[in-house]
Amino acid sequence: MKLVAWNVNGIRAILKKDFEKSLNALDPDIISLGEIKLTEGMQFPIIPEGYECFYTVSKVKKGYSGVAVLSRLHPKSIWFGLENKEYDDEGRIITLEFNNFYYVAVYSPNSQDGLLRLPYRVEYEKKLREYLVKLSKSKSVILAGDLNVAHNPIDIKNAKANEGCSGYTIEERTCFNELLDSGFTDAYRYLYPEKVEYSWWSYRFNARERNAGWRIDYFVISNDLREKLINSTIHTDIYGSDHCPISIEIKL
């Protein structure tokens, strides 16, 4: 099975940038799309043949955040936000339940300039971790999306220069450690412990051309799925957003 996650930085914008061609090339069984930037009440603008579409949008700010999942597999159940719908006000989380796994698509909040939202972010991480641990007690979990954190120095081009910046604070990195310590694995880093690739580049200073990027998009899987991993890929050759898509191939 092939699973893909991609922060598209606006689904309507990326449709003008060969998104359909890229989707056909990726050929996923499930793809989650982050930061779709739709407004409540809007229809999802593309549902390819053979896929079902599930999406959520921000209710507090128009054209902000939002997550979508396109799936060839029909889920047993689906819900938005955490169990009590927390964080669905910003369109952050969708969970699809299948026979032997949960697929949790997320777009994690950014701590923002000046770290104004860091306390909110840390609380989000705690509640998301507790939610994933609870799910994992009944079946395997796959977390996919833009987690807005570079975990280790290998995951960011200029680690020293960015220490303490949004996405590379000790608080955010510690939260990621705590998630992994709770029974989960960074799929890409499990297969490629020393490989240097990035999934996001600033639009400024020709960052992508210089490959001055960050790896902030992840598949995080329950530890019991490690041996079922076949591959994990960062598709740096696919454009259209400031992020590139990532994928895993896994036996499920």
- Residue 196 is encoded by which pair of tokens? 């240097």
Q: Long-range CB contacts (< 8 A, 24+ apart) of 109-112?
A: 109/148, 110/148, 110/166, 110/167, 111/148, 111/166, 111/167, 111/169, 111/172, 112/166
User: Rounded CA gap, 166 and 113, in Å?
Assistant: 7
Type of residue at 30 = I
The position carrying tokens 């799936």 is 71
Active site residue 146: yes
Question: Is the distance from CB of 53 to CB of 67 less than 8 angstroms?
Answer: no
User: Hey, what long-range contacts does 199-206 have (CB within 8 A, 24 or more apart)?
Assistant: 199/234, 199/236, 199/243, 199/244, 199/246, 200/7, 200/146, 200/242, 200/243, 200/244, 201/242, 202/242, 203/242
Say if CB 47 and CB 71 are below 8 A apart. Answer: no
Active-site choice (88, 146, 186, 217): 146
Selected catalytic residue, list 107, 124, 131, 198: 107
Cα(152)–Cα(215) distance, rounded to whole angstroms? 9
Told to judge if 107 belongs to the known catalytic residues of this protein, a careful annotator would answer: yes
Transcribe 124-157 into DSSP letters: HHHHHHHHHHHHHTTSEEEEEEE-----SGGGBT
Active-site residue set: 107, 146
